[in-house]
Amino acid sequence: MNRSSAEPLAEAPSRRQLWVDGVGGFLLLTSPDILIGQATPQSGVDVPILGDLSRRHAWIRRRGSEYVIEPLAEVRRRGKLLEQPTALSDGDQVQLGRSVVLSFQKRHPLSASAVLRLVSSQRTEPSTDAILLMAETCILGPRSCNHVVCGGWKQDVVLYKQGEGLHVRSPGAFQVNGHAVRNKSPLAADCSVQGEDFSFYLERLAASA
């Protein structure tokens, strides 16, 4: 898979930073194939980690609602060294190299999206609380199965793909970049979304770091 031949990034960035007030910062990835590797200049990976791992360490590919990890270097799933692409299931711990440990979560019953979290002490670049592997929808809200768990919110806010870009859906009135909208709205590459009890920002990142 050659990343440079991916979709034109100016129109629909596949990598975004999602900043949720009072909750955290997240790396939002919309591409079905995610490359994980070391954060070095021009390393060209989707998830750059400041840790002891290869520049291109592993692919995580989504096929339908299944996720498969494809090792390019030393990868262990649940402690077992992987030789070939292996399916991931909710709760898996994946060790990359000597010390980087990721947890894989796919909790929401109605969405094929998954969440990667760094369990070990390293950080991604830019720093995030979790990496969201977005299939069709990404659900922010108070319930623990949501991709972004936001205590104190009254209801879910759904980001979803439509055409080339991202849209947002939330019952009732809210604001996108200061403009009042109702129920749903398309989202620009960089934007702020503010509702009665929530506020978050999307910031585009380069297609790969």
Partner 1 sequence: MLGNVSDGQIAGKHSMRDQAATLEPEEEKQPKMQQQPPQAEHRPRGGTMKFTYASGSKPLDGFTIKRGVGSGGFGEVFYALSDAGKEVALKHIQRNLDIEMRGVTHCLNLKHPHLVALFDIRYDDAGEGWVVMEYVRGENLKEILDRRPNGLPPEEAIRWFRPIAAAVGYLHDHGIVHRDLKPGNIFNDAGTIKIGDYGLSKFISVSRRSGQTESVGTFHYMAPEIGKGVYGKEIDIYALGILLHEILTGRVPFEGESSQEIIMKHLTAEPELRGVPEPFRTTIAQALHKDPTKRTSTVEEMLANLGVSKNESVVASLHDNVTIQNHAPGHAENPPSQSIGAADDRDPIHRAMTGAVQSVSHWWNNDNISLFPKVLVLAACSIALITNLGWLAPLGFLAAAAYMAYLLGRTIYLHMSDAPSKTPITEYSPYHPVVMTRKERARQSRKQKRTRRERERAALAAIPLDLRMKSLIGSFLISAISAAVISLLALVLGGVSIEAPLATWAPLFGWLTIMTICASWSVLLLGKLWEPSSGDPWLRRFAMVGVGLLLGMIGYTAGNTLLLEMPISAAGIETSSGWHENLNLRGWFQSVHQSPSASTFAIVFAAQFGLLRWWKQADPLRKTRLSLWTIGFTVLTSAVVNYFCPFIQPWGMILVGATSLVVQISAPWYSLRERDELRQSQQINAETSA
Tell me: does residue 75 bind partner 1 (CB under 8 A): no
97: helix, coil or strand?
Answer: coil
Closer residue to partner 1 in complex, CB, 85/186: 186
Q: Which residue, among 124, 102, 120, has the nearest Cα to 49 in the 3D structure?
A: 124
Rounded to the nearest 5°, which phi and psi values hold at 28?
-105, 115
Rg (CA), the chain: 17
At 167, list the tokens. 């849209």
Tell me: does residue 188 bind partner 1 (CB under 8 A): yes
Tell me: does residue 191 bind partner 1 (CB under 8 A): yes
Tell me: does residue 194 bind partner 1 (CB under 8 A): yes
Tell me: does residue 64 bind partner 1 (CB under 8 A): no
Tell me: does residue 21 bind partner 1 (CB under 8 A): yes
Tell me: does residue 12 bind partner 1 (CB under 8 A): no
Q: Which residue, among 63, 30, 15, has the nearest Cα to 163 in the 3D structure?
A: 30
Interface ranges with partner 1 (CB under 8 A)? 9-10, 19-25, 41-42, 121, 125-127, 129, 152, 154, 177-178, 188-192, 194, 196-201, 203-207, 209
